């Protein structure tokens, strides 16, 4: 695995791959890798000639008071895991290389961001879309891989690729879970022992909500009440529990089509998010 830290080095390497006609799978991350990330690398490795992973804790997607400084980092361990999973190139740029001097342009996301995490993290998805535009221009990927745990992020990237005519296939990959159902996340390390025991209730609550929909419930409020009632039995505080059309993230009076049932729960030091995407039409057909 080649390990590069400078944007110029990466540009030269990518130019070489492209001149050789190789396909490139790109897995952007902020590091502190877990199985969720490694699943993306493994899939990318099956579907492309070359896999590029980036590790970059992107300052522009953190708001004031968020955990930019405290975000867990362990590059040595990450490099070993990335290589084992099949990454060919690990790109770990510095903030000053990614954001050289004062920026002339930043991407502003106009839709799909006023709900879920976007509602409480103002500007977050502008930072994500800006850094991904930079990465996409550097890596020139054939395919880019995103986990569906961050389904709103995947919806924003879908819009970015479409609106800016980017010649990239977005591959959205199912959430990887612990045995008890808890979605894998770099932030799980912040949970106390007791919170770690309670956290799987989040997915259980979403599953109960999904079951209700499967059984024919079409009123979003009834489904959300079921989900919140279950999560309220934990010590976590619900930030949101919501249902929207997916990937548009628009509200629905009556559930139909593809929908996302999503929630965010704040524990003492960790804010956990999770979701289930349900294709109601498909369920009704089967």
Report the catalytic residues.
Answer: 37
Q: How far is CA 244 from CA 8, 82, 86, 247, 285, in A?
A: 41, 34, 36, 8, 21
* 29 counts as binding ligand PAF under rule CB under 6 A: yes
Among positions 7, 48, 58, 226, the unique one binding ligand PAF when judged by CB under 6 A: 58
Applying CB under 6 A, the span of 4-12, 24-32, 218-226, 245-253 interacting with ligand PAF comes to: 24-32
| 122 vs 6: CA distance, rounded Å | 30
* 272 counts as binding ligand PAF under rule CB under 6 A: no
The DSSP result for 69-129, as a single string, is TTS---HHHHHHHHHHHT-SEEE---HHHHT-SS-S------SS-SSHHHHHSTTHHHHHH
Binding map of ligand PAF across residues 124-143, x = CB under 6 A, - = no contact? ----x--xx-----------
199 and 236 Cβ atoms separated by less than 8 Å: yes
CB of 69 to ligand PAF, least distance (A): 16
- Positive or negative: CA dihedral 123, 8, 157, 227: negative
Which residue, 170 or 245, has its beta carbon nearer to ligand PAF? 170
**Number of shown-chain residues binding ligand PAF (CB under 6 A):** 10
Among positions 150, 195, 198, 242, the unique one binding ligand PAF when judged by CB under 6 A: 150
Q: What is the DSSP letter of 167?
A: -
* 153 counts as binding ligand PAF under rule CB under 6 A: yes
Question: Site residues (CB under 6 A) for ligand PAF?
Answer: 28-30, 58, 61, 128, 131-132, 150, 153
């Amino acid at each position: 695995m080649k390990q590069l830290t400078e944007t110029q080095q990466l540009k030269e390497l990518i130019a070489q791959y492209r001149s050789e006609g190789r396909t490139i799978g790109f897995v952007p991350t902020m590091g502190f890798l877990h199985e969720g990330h490694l699943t993306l690398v493994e899939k990318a490795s099956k579907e492309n000639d070359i896999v590029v992973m980036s590790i970059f804790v992107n300052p522009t997607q953190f708001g004031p008071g968020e955990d930019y400084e405290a975000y867990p980092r362990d590059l040595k361990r990450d490099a070993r895991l990335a290589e084992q999973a099949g990454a060919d190139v690990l790109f770990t740029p510095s903030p000053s290389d990614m954001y050289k001097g004062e920026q002339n342009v930043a991407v502003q996301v106009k839709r799909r961001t006023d709900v879920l995490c976007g509602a409480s993290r103002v500007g977050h998805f502008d930072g994500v879309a800006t850094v991904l535009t930079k990465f996409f221009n550097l890596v020139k990927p054939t395919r880019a891989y995103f986990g569906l745990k961050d389904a709103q992020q995947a919806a924003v990237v879908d819009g970015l690729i479409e609106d800016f005519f980017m010649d990239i296939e977005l591959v959205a990959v199912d959430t990887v879970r612990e045995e008890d159902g808890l979605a894998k996340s770099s932030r799980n390390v912040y949970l106390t022992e007791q919170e770690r025991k309670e956290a799987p209730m989040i997915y259980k609550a979403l599953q109960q909500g999904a079951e209700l929909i499967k059984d024919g419930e079409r009123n979003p409020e009834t489904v959300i009440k079921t989900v919140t009632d279950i999560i309220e039995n934990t010590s976590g505080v619900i930030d949101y529990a919501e249902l929207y059309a997916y990937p548009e993230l628009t509200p629905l009076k009556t559930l139909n089509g593809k929908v996302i049932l999503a929630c965010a729960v704040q524990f003492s030091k960790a804010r956990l998010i999770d979701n289930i995407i349900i294709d109601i039409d498909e369920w009704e057909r089967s």
